[in-house]
Structure formats: C-alpha cells, structure tokens
C-alpha cells in the first residue's frame, strides 16, 4: 500500500460545536486521537489538514489549506497537492468510531482514475474515501468557479460506491459524526451501553 497516504481533515469551523471539534475531549481523549490511533495500525503516511497549531501535539505533520475558505473540497485539493503517493485516503476528524474494517474495504477496491467512496441508505459518504492524486487540476477548476459541493464533484467524476447498509445495521455508531454537544452526549451513551453489554 505504498501508493496510498492518509490525510485527516480537521480544519472545519465547527459552528455547531462552538470550538475546534477535532480537539474536544471525547471519552477521555481529543476526538481526532481516536482516529489517529486507529489508522496508525495501517502503517501508512499520515498528515493532518488543519489551521490550528495544537494539532502538532499528536506527532504527525500538520499542513494548512492551500486555498482557504473552500470547505472539504479545498481540503481534498490541499491533500492531493501535498501527496507524493498515487492515491489519498481522505478522512474527517468527526467520525471517531469509524471501523478499520470499513477503511480496509475501501482500500481493497482502489483503482486508477476512480474515486472509491461508501454509500449509506442511497447517500454518498465522501469520508472516508480513496481519491486519485491526478484529480488535482479538475478540483482546482471547481474551486476557482466556487463549485464547492463535494457530492456533486464526486458524481461528476468516475467513482465506485461501496454499499455499507449492512455494516450500519450491525454497528450504526461507526458512522456517527460528532458535530455538536448533543452528538457528544450520544457518543457517551453509546460507550456506556457497550460497556454494560460486555
């Protein structure tokens, strides 16, 4: 898998959370640390796309958006421009319970000139996703023309969808985004219920 590198987006404005969400404490450690601990097992290069220097505390390189204020699509562009690998595994810091099995299922499908993303209840999930580095130029055009909707970009490009409805039925929490204090409470309740079952 030496043709793949991992980039974790942590540069969102986090309006609903009220603070930088990747750094908030979630079940005893910063939210992004849950994901970093999990993907480190893959032994792939990892970088964090963020504007806050505090992300350097985790021991991975931190890079800033090349074109600020362009949302997640801008984060993908930054990642692809930085990468020396053929593909980028793009992730978002707000999915701390995402399973390694789901990530590996996407990696197993990677192929030239094709975006690999998951599909849940007929909806595309841009994260996690496998993105070929040769998409840089077309993404730059999207950014220049303020076409920033990530899902529309995917639909306009060669892509393969991996259906994860069955995984969701078995473990819905692995797809949970933590974007608000209410989401944090749900995560705590999920952890407590899981401990009771064990």
Say which CATH number the domain at 186 has: 3.90.550.10
Residue 94 assigned as binding residue: yes
pLDDT attached to residue 176:
83
User: Shortest CA distance to 6 belongs to which of 110, 121, 128?
Assistant: 128
pLDDT attached to residue 191:
66
Residue 9 assigned as binding residue: yes
Residue 10 assigned as binding residue: yes
Give the 3-state secondary structure of residue 148.
coil
pLDDT band at 123 (very low <50, low <70, confident <90, very high): very high
* d(C-alpha 26, C-alpha 58), whole Å: 15
Question: Is residue 120 within 8 Å of 168, Cβ to Cβ?
Answer: yes
Residue 196 has pLDDT above 60, yes or no: no
Residue 88 has pLDDT above 60, yes or no: yes
pLDDT attached to residue 62:
97
Residue 11 has pLDDT above 90, yes or no: no
Cβ-proximal residues to 36 (8 Å cutoff; 6+ apart), any chain: 8, 46, 58, 60
pLDDT in tens, 15-72: 554 568 899 898 889 999 999 999 999 999 999 999 988 999 999 999 999 999 999 9
Long-range (24+ apart) CB contacts under 8 A made by 176-180 are 176/95, 176/97, 177/92, 177/94, 177/95, 178/17, 178/21, 178/26, 178/31, 178/94, 178/95, 178/96, 179/14, 179/16, 179/17, 179/21, 179/94, 180/16, 180/17
Segments forming the whole domain that contains residue 134: 4-197
Residue 132 has pLDDT above 70, yes or no: yes
Residue 53 assigned as binding residue: no
pLDDT in tens, 165-177: 888 888 888 888 8
Question: Is residue 5 within 8 Å of 83, Cβ to Cβ?
Answer: yes
pLDDT (average), residues 64-84 = 95
* d(C-alpha 64, C-alpha 53), whole Å: 10
Q: What is the largest CA-CA distance in the chain?
A: 52
Q: How many domains does the chain have?
A: 1
Question: Is residue 26 within 8 Å of 33, Cβ to Cβ?
Answer: no
Residue 21 assigned as binding residue: yes
Asked if omega into 61 is within 30° of 0 (cis), the reply is no
Question: Is residue 131 within 8 Å of 159, Cβ to Cβ?
Answer: no
pLDDT attached to residue 193:
67
pLDDT band at 179 (very low <50, low <70, confident <90, very high): confident
């Amino acid at each position: 898998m030496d043709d793949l590198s991992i980039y974790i987006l942590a540069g969102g404005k986090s309006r609903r959370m009220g603070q930088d969400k990747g750094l908030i404490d979630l079940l005893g450690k910063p939210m992004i640390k849950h994901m970093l601990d999990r993907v480190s097992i893959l032994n792939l290069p990892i970088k964090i796309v963020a504007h806050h220097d505090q992300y350097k505390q985790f021991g991975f390189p931190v890079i800033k958006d090349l074109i600020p204020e362009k949302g997640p699509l801008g984060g993908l562009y930054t990642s692809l421009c930085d990468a020396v690998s053929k593909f980028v595994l793009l992730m978002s810091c707000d999915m701390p319970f995402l399973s390694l099995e789901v990530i590996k299922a996407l990696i197993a499908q990677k192929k030239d000139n094709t975006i690999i993303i998951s599909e849940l209840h007929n909806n595309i999930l841009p994260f996690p996703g496998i993105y070929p580095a040769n998409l840089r130029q077309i993404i730059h055009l999207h950014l220049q023309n303020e076409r920033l909707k990530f899902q529309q970009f995917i639909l306009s490009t060669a892509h393969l969808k991996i259906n994860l409805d069955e995984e969701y039925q078995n473990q819905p929490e692995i797809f949970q985004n933590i974007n608000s204090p209410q989401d944090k409470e749900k995560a705590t309740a999920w952890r407590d219920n899981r401990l009771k079952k064990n």
